[in-house]
């Protein structure tokens, strides 16, 4: 469900919009500088309708006033805007972080969170419901409580690998609103005669839509898939091997053979997921981009998330304080089960995309070395 608050629209008349635009343009021409910054457009009722950023703020702001077609997004935003505010930041990286923070805080109606950074990376989201399933997601959207695995390179390859994982473990992948019926539920009259798709008939889905599986059994199989994505590779394989041995012992050779095939597919899928998974662990360092505007800051980044933004230390005392903060961030052992808290997804995408687009920025990072060997002397 969208968390964005619906507010009444205060669309101004054409004449008012033109007069306001002229005022804003005059201010931009007279005051804005071409350095990194973030900006907000507000409607007459005070609502922040758009947040943007640019490494060349003046150029970006002027571009709004050159929008030719009335349908252009920029022209539409400008028509609704009564006020334009901006703030300078030290670097383009800072502008991206600040823009994201403000979009999350205000949820402006003309912004889409994380869209820009989601082009090259994707996540696997656990979709809750009567029968849980996995979905490929390009960002957190509005699901701030979900469980996400990733990031992975390439949404299409990820879709393919996930389809195989679903097939191997017999999990559903149908539309989320497909009604589910378990074999142990009370009202078995309501169960449809035929499954919603062919996957159950060809042995690729346990069939929770036609009461072909008990709730617990489906949940256990889903748990195996989760364990697989969390990196506990032996757990699903061991469970399937046990089931295979039981089937053999009962002379259910067809079932045993099917389980053997699933084990083989999981083995190759393990390598496939490992290839696609982006190693967020590599994004653990102190990053100090060159400041274009104002004082430089250092970002303490752990596993692709900015854990602290600190002034670059200039004195021995500041450096000790800096080291103490960084130590407190880097030292604790963190759970690494491959999941990312939903509220960190967009920032992780931002940081990952930044260093993928600008790999030379990695030269401005340093592994954390406390006390005298710190590079921020």
List contacts with ligand SF4 (CB under 6 A).
Answer: 172-174, 178, 195-197, 199-200, 205, 207-209
What are the percentages of helix, strand and coil residues in the chain, rounded to 5? Answer: 45, 15, 40
DSSP-based three-state secondary structure for 307? strand
Which one, 167 or 323, has the nearer CB to ligand SF4?
167
Q: How far is the CB of 240 from ligand SF4 (least distance, A)?
A: 19
Which one, 170 or 338, has the nearer CB to ligand SF4?
170
Residue 319: both structure tokens together: 């450096």
Contact call for residues 174 and 197 (beta carbons, < 8 A): yes
Nearest CA to 164 out of 273, 242, 257 is that of: 273
Q: How far is the CB of 136 from ligand SF4 (least distance, A)?
A: 15
Q: How far is the CB of 138 from ligand SF4 (least distance, A)?
A: 22
Nearest CA to 229 out of 175, 269, 278, 261 is that of: 269
Read out DSSP for 233-293? THHHHHHHHHHHHHHHHTT-HHHHHHHHHHHHHHHHHHHHHHHHB--GGG--EEE-PPPSS
User: Helix axis angle, 234-249 relative to 215-229, nearest 10°?
Assistant: 140
Which one, 113 or 124, has the nearer CB to ligand SF4?
124
Q: How far is the CB of 166 from ligand SF4 (least distance, A)?
A: 8
Q: How far is the CB of 133 from ligand SF4 (least distance, A)?
A: 8
Which one, 207 or 289, has the nearer CB to ligand SF4?
207
Q: How far is the CB of 237 from ligand SF4 (least distance, A)?
A: 23
* Count, residues in the chain: 377
Q: How far is the CB of 110 from ligand SF4 (least distance, A)?
A: 37
Cross-strand pairs, 135 = 125
C-alpha distances in Å from residue 166, one per residue of 78, 97, 132, 161, 173: 46, 36, 11, 9, 7
Contact call for residues 107 and 3 (beta carbons, < 8 A): yes
Q: How far is the CB of 202 from ligand SF4 (least distance, A)?
A: 9
Half-sphere exposure of 219 (CA within 13 A, CB side): 9
Q: How far is the CB of 271 from ligand SF4 (least distance, A)?
A: 25
Which one, 102 or 200, has the nearer CB to ligand SF4?
200
Which one, 118 or 124, has the nearer CB to ligand SF4?
124
Q: How far is the CB of 192 from ligand SF4 (least distance, A)?
A: 9
Which one, 51 or 224, has the nearer CB to ligand SF4?
224
Contact call for residues 297 and 36 (beta carbons, < 8 A): no
Which one, 64 or 218, has the nearer CB to ligand SF4?
218
CA–CA–CA angle 371, 372, 374 (5° rounding): 75
Which one, 63 or 194, has the nearer CB to ligand SF4?
194
Contact call for residues 131 and 221 (beta carbons, < 8 A): no
DSSP-based three-state secondary structure for 143? coil
Q: Residue number with the shortest CB distance to ligand SF4?
A: 196
Instruction: Report CA dihedral (355, 146, 157, 159) to the nearest 10 degrees.
Output: -160
Which one, 23 or 216, has the nearer CB to ligand SF4?
216
């Amino acid at each position: 469900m969208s968390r964005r608050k619906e507010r009444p629209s205060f669309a101004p008349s054409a004449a008012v919009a033109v007069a306001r635009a002229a005022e804003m343009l005059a201010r931009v021409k007279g005051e804005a500088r071409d350095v990194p910054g973030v900006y907000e457009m507000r409607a007459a009722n005070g609502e922040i309708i758009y947040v943007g950023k640019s490494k060349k703020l003046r150029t970006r702001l002027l571009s709004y006033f050159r929008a030719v077609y009335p349908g252009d997004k920029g022209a539409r935003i400008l028509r609704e805007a009564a006020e334009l505010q901006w703030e300078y930041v030290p670097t383009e990286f800072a502008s991206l972080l600040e823009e994201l923070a403000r979009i999350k805080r205000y949820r402006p109606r003309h912004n889409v969170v994380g869209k820009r950074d989601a082009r090259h990376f994707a996540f696997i989201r656990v979709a809750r419901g009567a029968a849980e399933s996995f979905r490929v997601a390009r960002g957190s959207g509005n699901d701030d409580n979900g469980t996400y695995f990733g990031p992975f390179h390439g949404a299409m390859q990820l879709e393919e690998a996930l389809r195989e994982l679903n097939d191997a473990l017999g999990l559903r992948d149908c539309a989320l609103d497909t009604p589910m019926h378990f074999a142990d539920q009370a009202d078995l009259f309501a169960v449809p005669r035929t499954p919603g798709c062919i996957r159950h008939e060809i042995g690729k889905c346990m069939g929770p839509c036609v009461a072909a599986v008990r709730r617990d059994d489906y949940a256990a199989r889903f748990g195996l898939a989760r364990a697989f994505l969390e990196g506990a590779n032996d757990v699903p394989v061991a469970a399937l091997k046990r089931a295979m041995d039981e089937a053999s012992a009962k002379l259910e050779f067809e079932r045993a053979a099917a389980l053997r095939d699933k084990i083989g597919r999981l083995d190759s899928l393990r390598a496939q997921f490992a290839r696609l998974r982006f190693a967020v662990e590599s994004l653990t360092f102190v990053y100090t981009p060159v400041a274009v505007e104002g004082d430089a800051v250092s970002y303490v980044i752990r596993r692709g998330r900015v854990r602290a933004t600190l002034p670059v230390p200039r004195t021995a005392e500041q450096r000790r304080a800096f080291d103490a903060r960084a130590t407190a961030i880097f030292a604790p052992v963190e759970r690494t089960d491959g999941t990312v808290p939903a509220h960190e997804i967009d920032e992780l995408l931002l940081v990952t995309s930044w260093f993928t687009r600008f790999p030379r920025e990695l030269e401005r990072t340093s592994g954390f070395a406390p006390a005298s060997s710190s590079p921020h002397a």
